[in-house]
Structure 1
């Protein structure tokens, strides 16, 4: 019999995709891997969309409503375990003068061309951002595993 202790426990995180022309907004975190989408972990009892809204307000001082889900990405991070990461379309951000960085976690932000995201981020995150941008363009929602659409990912552990 399967018990609660046998079930996978994934950490949930939500990120915001802001688009301007062919660039996306990235923030530089003062910890971890550096450049990332605005966003963070989902708190207990909070939906991923609510977490996205909260994190954008905390990190950038902007009240942005997630319009739609672009990407769900299941990822295993050896040091941290399973994660499910959601990327939401948060629309255009034309008034960048309204950005007020949360300086305890962030020290910079910039518009980065989608084709150059890989120069600033880890490969899996770059793939996730590119897939989110493509989903945004096409009006789709995409399911990923480790940053890659699941049918393209080779499953070596299938039974």
Structure 2
């Protein structure tokens, strides 16, 4: 397959908060850094449905997935391009937050973090624009489009 015909990957994530307004982040077992909860979109699957499935599989929670916050196009030299959709995952009650059960093959840990404390030590620097856009879109209700070119 030539570079001109390379397949594009896609994933979906959610901004989920607790009752104190902190954002849920997860630490994958298969790569460094932290992420929003979510994951790969399977062939034939719609992004919102994939996001809900990933929340159920990786966190053990049934959570309604709300409106799209960010559509990001991520390009990594040598690895191709990736479409990343971030949805509003709503707010978890204290009981639901405490009932999170991580899928150990995928996630090492989770935590709730104040939005202003999500910095480069937690998220990969190239993805900070997508995270910031998602938080801003959630605050003002205006979805964003972001292009990320990893160098």
Unaligned runs of at least 5 residues, structure 1: 148-159
Correspondence 1:11-26 to 2 at 5 A: 11-20=9-18, 21-26=20-25
Q: What is the distance in 1 between the residues matched to 2:125 and 2:52?
A: 25
Given that 2:64 and 2:89 are in contact with CA atoms closer than 8 Å, whether structure 1 keeps it comes out as yes
Q: CA deviation at 1:29?
A: 0.8
Q: CA deviation at 1:128?
A: 1.4
Q: What is the distance in 2 between the residues matched to 1:62 and 1:77?
A: 32
Partner of 1:136: 138
Q: What is the distance in 2 between the residues matched to 1:117 and 1:8?
A: 33
Count residues with an aligned counterpart.
Answer: 144
Distance 1:124-1:6 versus aligned 2 partners, 3 A rule:
closer
2:108 equivalent to 1:107: yes
RMSD, aligned CA: 1.9
2:28 equivalent to 1:29: yes
Deviates more, 1:124-133 or 1:87-96: 124-133
The higher-RCO structure (CA 8 Å, 6+ apart) is 2
Larger Rg: 1
- SS across alignment from 1:36: coil
Unaligned runs of at least 5 residues, structure 2: none
Give the TM-score normalised by structure 1.
0.83
Give the TM-score normalised by structure 2.
0.87
Q: CA deviation at 1:7?
A: 4.9
